[in-house]
Amino acid sequence: MLLSIFLSCNNPKNNLKNSKCIHCGMNTQKYQQWIGVIKEKQKIAITCSPRCLLLVCLRDKEKLKADLSLKDYYEQTKIDAKKTFFVVGSKILGPMGNDFIPFKTKKDADLFLQDNQGKKILSFQEIDFKTIMEYQ
Ligand SMILES: [Zn+2]
């Protein structure tokens, strides 16, 4: 038992899973389906949710040069955050409450919007502090 804990602590993959959100400090382990990843040169930072990733990028424009990824809500595959279609105002809640639900394709975003009473589809570039305040 002790040995397995020790081994899992030394596994870099598990370390990533146990990371805290760089925006709000929440442990991201329980929210693997929602996490955002910010990869800058050798550094990797994790956010607990698309909302936290967006806030980090709005606060620090330097982050826009990094490799930003999220997980497609349906497929659970890695997608480029800067090309993501975000559904806002739906009844689906992320780790931080109302969130910006990420999709790779506009088609899936549309489908989700209709199924979950979403309000709008926004691109990464359309989202600013005002939008984030509006949908919380
Ligand atoms: Zn967070």
Residue 115 DSSP class: H
Å from CA of 102 to ligand 1 middle: 15
Å from CA of 1 to ligand 1 middle: 31
Query: What pLDDT, on a 0 to 100 scale, did the predictor assign at position 136?
Result: 82
Sequence length of the chain is 136
Inter-CA distances, 14 with 65, 93, 99, 118, Å: 26, 25, 25, 34
Which one-letter amino acid corresponds to residue 12?
P
- CA-to-CA distance for 47 and 19, rounded, in angstroms? 9
Å from CA of 5 to ligand 1 middle: 26
Å from CA of 2 to ligand 1 middle: 30
Q: What is the pLDDT of residues 98-135, one digit of tens each?
A: 999 999 999 999 999 999 999 999 999 999 999 999 99
CB atoms within 10 A of CB 69: 19
Å from CA of 43 to ligand 1 middle: 18
Q: What is the pLDDT of residues 35-77, one digit of tens each?
A: 999 999 889 999 999 999 999 999 999 999 999 999 999 999 9
